[in-house]
Amino acid sequence: ARVVDAGVYQVIATNPLGTATSAPVRVWVSEETGWTPHNPLPSPQGLTQIFVNNGQFRATGTRGARISSDDGIAWSQLPALGQNNLLGYLEGNGRKILVGSLGFLALSTDGITWRTTSLPTAAPVQAAAFGAGLFVISTTYSDAPTGRAKIFTSPDGDVWTESYSST
């Protein structure tokens, strides 16, 4: 992109039923050097995060996509762990946890062999963290049928306790 491409943009879609116009969005563009696009892309799926595990770059994404690289330049596709989107990576207490959509979890002690499990809810994951010896995952309000946000905690990623439920 070039700096001259910056500005306010809208999307207008028209079909025989009518026209829909998106809200205006401002796009800022800065010219940078040093970025190298790779083609073909390392994964046909969208990627949602990058982290370092056992000295290797790892990226995860939609529909269980996983890729790995020793140097951040050459990437290899890893087998998907399922069809859920992978949204977060946690590490602590000798465990590694991949956090996915709809309560999906994958657990590992070595970052190579993974075992899938799930939270005690299928609500969308909002955030995840590790601290004070606990894995902590929050879910959004769409936890049917209660319609409440929840926070779950676990020392090992296997057994999860509901620590909070909004009213």
Give the pLDDT of the chain (167 residues) as one tens digit per residue. Answer: 555 667 778 888 888 888 888 877 777 666 666 565 554 555 667 888 888 888 889 888 888 888 889 988 888 888 888 888 998 899 999 999 999 988 899 999 998 899 999 998 888 888 899 999 999 999 886 555 666 788 999 999 999 999 888 76
Q: Using CA atoms, how far apart are residues 46 and 104, in angstroms rounded to an integer?
A: 18
Nearest to 125 by CA among 68, 52, 48: 48
How far apart, in whole angstroms, are the C-alpha atoms of residue 64 and residue 93? 24
Residue 98 and residue 61 in contact, taking contact as beta carbons nearer than 8 Å: no
Degrees to nearest 5, angle at CA 37 with 32 and 40 = 170
Q: How far apart are CA 27 and CA 15, in angstroms?
A: 26
CA distance 126 to 111: 23
Neighbours of 111 (CB within 10 A): 16
How far apart, in whole angstroms, are the C-alpha atoms of residue 136 and residue 133? 10
- Residues 128, 55, 42, 28, Cα dihedral to 10°: 60
